[in-house]
Amino acid sequence: MNDLGLTHLYSGKVRDLYAVGDDHLLMVASDRMSAYDVVMREPIPDKGRVLTGLTDFWVREFAETMPSALVTCDPEQIENWVRGFARAHQWHGRSMLARRAEMLSLECIVRGRLAGQAYDEYRATGTVHHMVTPAGMELTDPFDYPMFTPSTKAASGHDLNIDLDEAADIVGAEMVERASTLCVDLFIRAAARLADHGLILADTKFELGFVDGELVVCDEVLTPDSSRIWPADEVRRGEVPPSYDKQPFRDWLDQLKWDRTPPPPTVPEEIVKITSQRYRSAYEQVTGRPLSEWFGATAGA
């Protein structure tokens, strides 16, 4: 895919990273789908554009108060840094030009509702990230106040859920406080914005880093890959709600006799189509705009 002469730095489960000079990066979100740390063989059409478009939306929505590493997603503007980019249509809509950052060694998760791994731990121990949590909660119940629940960044394998004291051992208590304040504030404002559109933000994960000494938000922001977003009118206490994230895809996988190790199972065309539509619906429901208006749309899309 790299026909622009860029230096490839890294390929993750979903994103590819390229150097743009000494101070910037080009982050390209592919249509790859990962689940349980395994990348499926079948791509999900438009997934990369949705992740990039939603990140751009949220960064601009909170531009006055949310420091971010993002510079632009506009192909014409990226052309100023990457010669030939304006003609590289396969990159449009899925590429973010960002400032290089020194990443914080924590995954910064904020939880407004009991779900996912937090629910599994709560059922087993009555805690969330090893922290005391009110008794008697059920799946989808709201916390009294959004919880900052960090995890480690594992070089390989799975990240580990940790409490605030363990996080302080990694980055220092002052940095945990700064990260918590920034992320919880963003969560509260995003949750309010989504509530106006009939959606519940159950939880989300932020990536933070330093640019010129300032703590900023990096990578994707409030996307279906980093968040659980539920239609408010379909949430029932104690039941798994429908969602705009990739949880339904995981639910399909869970019905299979698959041990969550490579090679992945073959994903039927129907599941690919349903999953792609969920991603597109997430973009359109959150932004109020058709995905066809975002960069990189193909004719007739």
Q: What is the dihedral of CA 240, 244, 250, 256, to 10 degrees?
A: 80
Q: What is the pLDDT of residue 37?
A: 85
Q: What is the pLDDT of residue 250?
A: 84
Fold of 1-100: Phosphorylase Kinase; domain 1 (3.30.200)
Domain ranges of the chain: 1-100, 103-246
CB of 161 within 8 A of CB of 121?
yes
Could you tell me the CA-to-CA distances from 263 to 152, 183, 254 in Å, in that order? 26, 36, 15
List phi, psi (to 5°) of 205: -120, 130
Q: What is the pLDDT of residue 301?
A: 46
Q: Which stretches in the chain have pLDDT values below 50?
A: 299-301
Q: What is the pLDDT of residue 36?
A: 85
Q: What is the pLDDT of residue 155?
A: 61
Q: Which CATH number is correct for 103-246, 3.40.50.300, 3.30.470.20, 3.40.140.10, 3.20.20.70? A: 3.30.470.20
CA distance 67 to 263: 40
Q: At what angle do helices 247-254 and 269-287 cross, to 10 degrees?
A: 160
Q: What is the pLDDT of residue 43?
A: 96
Residue closest to 190 by CA, chosen among 95, 49, 62: 62
Q: What is the pLDDT of residue 299?
A: 45
Please give the model's pTM, rounded to 2 decimal places. Answer: 0.94
